[in-house]
Amino acid sequence: MNNFTFYAPTYFSFGKDTQSQAGALVKRFGGSKVLVHYGGGSVVRSGLLDTVKASLEAAGLAYVELGGVKPNPRSGLVYEGIELCRKEGVDFILAVGGGSTIDSAKAIAAGTVYDGDFWDFYEGKPVEKALPIGTILTIAAAGSEGSPDSVITKEEGMIKRGASGEAYRPKFSILNPALTQTLPPYQTAAGITDIIAHLYERYLTNTKEVEVTDRLIEALILTMVHEGPRVIEDPNNYEARANIMWAGMMAHNNSCGVGRTQDWTSHNVEHELSALYDCAHGAGLAVAMPAVFTYTLHHDVMRFAKIAVRVWGCQMDFDDPERTAKEGIEALRRFLISIGMPKNFEELGAKEEDIEFLAHTACYGTENADGKLYGFTTLDQKDVEEIYKLMV
Ligand code: NZQ
Ligand code: ZN
């Protein structure tokens, strides 16, 4: 195991009706003037926004609102939010929604207290300072409620990039599984897929002897395999939603990723898909993961065979471990299709003729990119093109 530090000081309030604590929690973490940030309207329709506003008012807090965050959140609204926060003297940002809303809130939080262009952080500048952020999560998926990350799409060229920094970790996150019961099945399934991807991206490591995190990851994927179909069948199954919601947080606050190298190839390859075609991130991952794993299999066949046996219940073939490894990838693919995810470019709305562009942007998309993707393996543009071809 490699040396590591781990400091993830987000306060979580989990369970039924916890959204009414919003005002008290903002106050506890030092907010006095709040930006309430939300998406395209689901929180208006569900009544959640009214509950949150009532809670802020009850705590004697002033607030302004900014809705309209789109899935794969855009830089344009971030600039608007920064201007609003400066004008109104906002000192706390409350994100009410999914990963897109939380990520947009994080970008606004950093941009408000930065003299330059907030996009600098999405070109590699570490995020050292940001306004404090709180979240009320409405979809179990991205893990942004506990992560130090944010992903934003720049409209110019539709480039999707991530930024990281401890200042991006939410001060608190309110997780009420009942709030996820209004999700359409497709979004629920996309969220489950994203959670599984966050676990696979950490499982695919070059670090030896990391049994404790291997076992945590396996347990969380097994939980998704058990609870996923239950919640697709019965969207009101609170207990299944509760297990998925907490698994989603644990999958991405890095408690399962410490002390080991990680992959992130599937995410890098996927981000180009959701940037260009505006598909759900999880749906893009459902198509990307089997292709990436098939292409990188030979780098460490035993790692893929291990997850195949321990998670997918495959029989270990000691004469031909590659067969076992491939069976595991097939089992993952079948599971994702069974919960309603797309299986190829066509179902995702992606186009074969874009492959060269997608691979080029993945490898050279930012100023400091050197044409390679680093992770479990090192890949160049030609490799990435081959991976996209496997998705057709
Ligand atoms: O905008 P509204 O109207 O709220 O609708 C949303 C949106 O259309 C809807 N939704 C959310 N909760 C709902 C609901 N509809 C009904 N009932 C509810 N309770 O679901 C749709 C998707 O929402 P979004 O926030 O986009 O989903 P998700 O949480 O999957 O976030 C995806 C974004 O997170 C990024 C992705 O790249 C993508 O841009 N990621 C962020 C990460 C991070 N910050 O750590 C890591 C991830 O790997 C990921 O890259
Ligand atoms: Zn993800």
- Kindly state if the Cβ of 191 falls inside 6 Å of ligand 1: yes
Ligand 1 atom nearest the C-alpha of 103 is 44
Whether 20 and 51 have beta carbons less than 8 Å apart is answered as yes
Mutating to test ligand 1, I would choose from 43, 65, 102, 103 the residue with most ligand atoms within 8 A of its C-beta, which is: 103
Angle at the Cα of 280 from the Cα atoms of 275 and 285, rounded to 5 degrees: 85
- Kindly state if the Cβ of 193 falls inside 6 Å of ligand 1: no
- Kindly state if the Cβ of 147 falls inside 6 Å of ligand 1: yes
Burial (CB < 10 A; 0-12, 13-18, 19+), residue 17, is exposed
Ligand 1 centroid vs 101 CA: distance in angstroms?
Answer: 7
Burial (CB < 10 A; 0-12, 13-18, 19+), residue 270, is buried
Burial (CB < 10 A; 0-12, 13-18, 19+), residue 302, is exposed
- Kindly state if the Cβ of 135 falls inside 6 Å of ligand 1: no
Sorted by sequence, the CB contacts under 8 Å of residue 34 that are 6+ apart come out as 26, 56, 61, 62, 63, 64, 90, 92, 93, 94
Query: pLDDT tens-digit profile of 32-60?
Result: 999 999 999 999 999 999 999 999 999 99
* Candidate CATH numbers 3.40.50.1970, 1.25.40.10, 3.50.50.60, 3.30.390.50; the one for domain 11-179: 3.40.50.1970
- Determine the Cα–Cα distance for residues 285 and 268; give it in Å rounded to an integer: 10
- Kindly state if the Cβ of 72 falls inside 6 Å of ligand 1: yes
* Element spanning 331, H or E: helix 321-338
CATH 1.20.1090.10 location in the chain:
184-391
pLDDT at position 367 is 67
User: What is the number of residues in the chain?
Assistant: 392
* Predicted TM-score of the model (pTM): 0.98
- Kindly state if the Cβ of 111 falls inside 6 Å of ligand 1: no
pLDDT at position 176 is 98
Burial (CB < 10 A; 0-12, 13-18, 19+), residue 304, is buried
Angle at the Cα of 246 from the Cα atoms of 240 and 250, rounded to 5 degrees: 140
Ligand 1 atom nearest the C-alpha of 282 is 30
CATH 3.40.50.1970 location in the chain:
11-179
Ligand 1 atom nearest the C-alpha of 41 is 3
Per-residue 3-state assignment (H helix, E strand, C coil) for 185-235 = HHHHHHHHHHHHHHHHHHHCCCCCCCHHHHHHHHHHHHHHHHHHHHHHHCC
Whether 297 and 304 have beta carbons less than 8 Å apart is answered as yes
Ligand 2 centroid vs 180 CA: distance in angstroms?
Answer: 18
The CATH homologous superfamily for domain 184-391 is Dehydroquinate synthase-like - alpha domain (1.20.1090.10)
Mutating to test ligand 1, I would choose from 52, 75, 77, 138 the residue with most ligand atoms within 8 A of its C-beta, which is: 138
Ligand 2 centroid vs 266 CA: distance in angstroms?
Answer: 9
Ligand 1 centroid vs 134 CA: distance in angstroms?
Answer: 16
Ligand 2 centroid vs 62 CA: distance in angstroms?
Answer: 33
* Element spanning 78, H or E: helix 75-88
List C-alpha distances in Å: 67 to 39, 83, 97, 358: 5, 14, 10, 31
Ligand 1 centroid vs 224 CA: distance in angstroms?
Answer: 18
Residue recorded with tokens 């074969």: 352
pLDDT at position 379 is 97
Ligand 1 atom nearest the C-alpha of 106 is 44
Residues near ion ligand 2 (CB < 5 Å) are 194
Number of neighbouring beta carbons within 10 Å of residue 212: 12
- Kindly state if the Cβ of 182 falls inside 6 Å of ligand 1: yes
User: Which residue in 350, 354, 373, 361 sits closest to 286, CA to CA?
Assistant: 350
- Kindly state if the Cβ of 273 falls inside 6 Å of ligand 1: no
pLDDT tens, position by position, for the chain (392 residues)?
999 999 999 999 999 999 999 999 999 999 999 999 999 999 999 999 999 999 999 999 999 999 999 999 999 999 999 999 999 999 999 999 999 999 999 999 999 999 999 999 999 999 999 999 999 999 999 999 999 999 999 998 888 999 999 999 999 999 999 999 999 999 999 999 999 999 999 999 999 999 999 999 999 999 999 999 999 999 999 999 999 999 999 999 999 999 999 999 999 999 999 999 999 999 999 999 999 999 999 999 999 999 999 999 999 999 999 999 999 999 999 999 999 999 999 999 999 999 999 999 999 987 678 999 999 999 999 999 999 999 99
Ligand 2 centroid vs 197 CA: distance in angstroms?
Answer: 6
User: Which residue in 88, 85, 120, 122 sits closest to 105, CA to CA?
Assistant: 85
